[in-house]
Amino acid sequence: MPTFECEVELDVATAAVWQALKEQDTIFPQILPESISSVEHLSGFEGQPGSVRLIMFSPRKKKSFFSRSKVAVEGTFVKEKLVTLYDPGYTATSEEVEGGHLAQGFSKWVSTTRVIPIGPDRCRLNFATYYEGGRKKSEVEKAVQKAKEGIVKAYKELEEYLKSTCNG
């Protein structure tokens, strides 16, 4: 099964990043309003394996000289199921169950996020995704590249947010 990985080093304590990831349903729409408009809990015990959430992506802005932001067509979403959550290892796995990459022709899109301590106020975020399907090779490569860019952007924004709110 094809996979890709993306790593981002953050100048923030591991515990702070892990806690923020557990609260990302609230945090990410605040820090990434151009990407995520809302996150809603749909089923299961919120934040626990088996829970499902609905992530609504922000509508794409029309391209202009001043605005080059483009995220998604209005109404674009992903339903995501939390598969595993392992606090001692700072690891969580989620699977897209509707929308998102599945709407782009993939039949499976499962991501594991690990927060790895590399110092007292520094960590590495490892994001590994395995997927099945996809239409053409060029479309798969584009989706993977876009996902990697989004991961780096999201977690660098999270780093800045944490530095400003809790001094890492």
| Res 74: pLDDT | 55
| Res 73: pLDDT | 55
Provide the token pair at 28: 């990410």
| Res 1: pLDDT | 82
- The DSSP result for 72-125, as a single string, is B-TT-EEEEEEEEEEGGGTEEEEEEEEETTGGGTEEEEEEEEEEEEEETTEEEE
| pLDDT values of the chain reduced to their tens digit, one per residue, 168 residues | 899 999 999 999 999 999 999 999 999 999 999 999 999 999 999 989 999 999 999 886 644 333 444 445 556 899 999 999 999 999 999 999 999 999 989 999 999 999 999 999 999 999 999 999 877 888 889 999 999 999 999 999 999 999 999 754
Architecture of domain 3-166: 2-Layer Sandwich (3.30)
| Res 68: pLDDT | 41
Residue 121: what are its φ and ψ, rounded to 5°? -130, 40
- CA-nearest of 9, 7, 8, 15 to 167 is 15
Q: What is the dihedral of CA 36, 39, 107, 3, to 10 degrees?
A: 70
Residue 134: what are its φ and ψ, rounded to 5°? 105, 155
**Domain locations in the chain?**
3-166
